[in-house]
Amino acid sequence: MLTRVLCALMLAVVSVPAWAEDAKVLALGLTDHEVTQEDLEKGAALPAPHFNTPAIAYASIANLKKGDVVEIILVNDDRPLLHNTETLDEDQAKYLLQAGKRGVPAGGWPEGRYHAALTVTRDGKPLIEQSSPPIPFD
């Protein structure tokens, strides 16, 4: 009897889809170009933005559920500059969201320390709130 129970439990664990696991941040940061999931999976460091290059905040998150709200913000000091928000139509094993500017503002990016701020909300409650380390755009 115990063997049957253990076998049933093992089957239940094995058959749990990946999205049913806890959501987690795979990558979060800033770079000077739009990125792909493949770029992030390579694990190589992405180039940091400068005052005269594009600036993109990115977040790759795993195990999201339908209805989750994902928001990424490009922040200068404590001022949000650009943001992108998506409400998921379906479960996502991996999800990439970006916010930023492909061009450069006239005169370059303002002085300050920049970071990416990520929020994932599930059922109206914050699930993940995380920021990348702040960096100056030199």
Q: What are phi and psi of 6, to 5 degrees?
A: -65, -40
Q: What is the pLDDT of residue 67?
A: 97
Q: What CATH number does residue 45 fall under?
A: 2.60.40.10
Residue type, 19: W
Q: What is the pLDDT along the chain (138 residues), one digit of tens a residue?
A: 444 443 444 444 444 444 447 999 999 999 999 999 999 999 889 999 999 999 999 999 999 999 999 999 999 999 999 999 999 999 999 999 999 998 999 999 999 999 999 999 999 999 999 999 999 999
Q: What are phi and psi of 85, to 5 degrees?
A: -130, 135
What is the total count of domains within the chain? 1
Walk across the sheet containing 92-101 and list its strands.
Answer: 24-31, 55-64, 92-101
Contacting residues for 20 by C-beta, under 8 A, at least 6 apart: 63
Residue ranges in 27-137 assigned as alpha helix (H): 37-42
- For residues 45 and 39, give the distance between their C-alpha atoms in angstroms, rounded to a whole number: 9
Q: What is the pLDDT of residue 43?
A: 87
Domain with 116 in it: 2-136
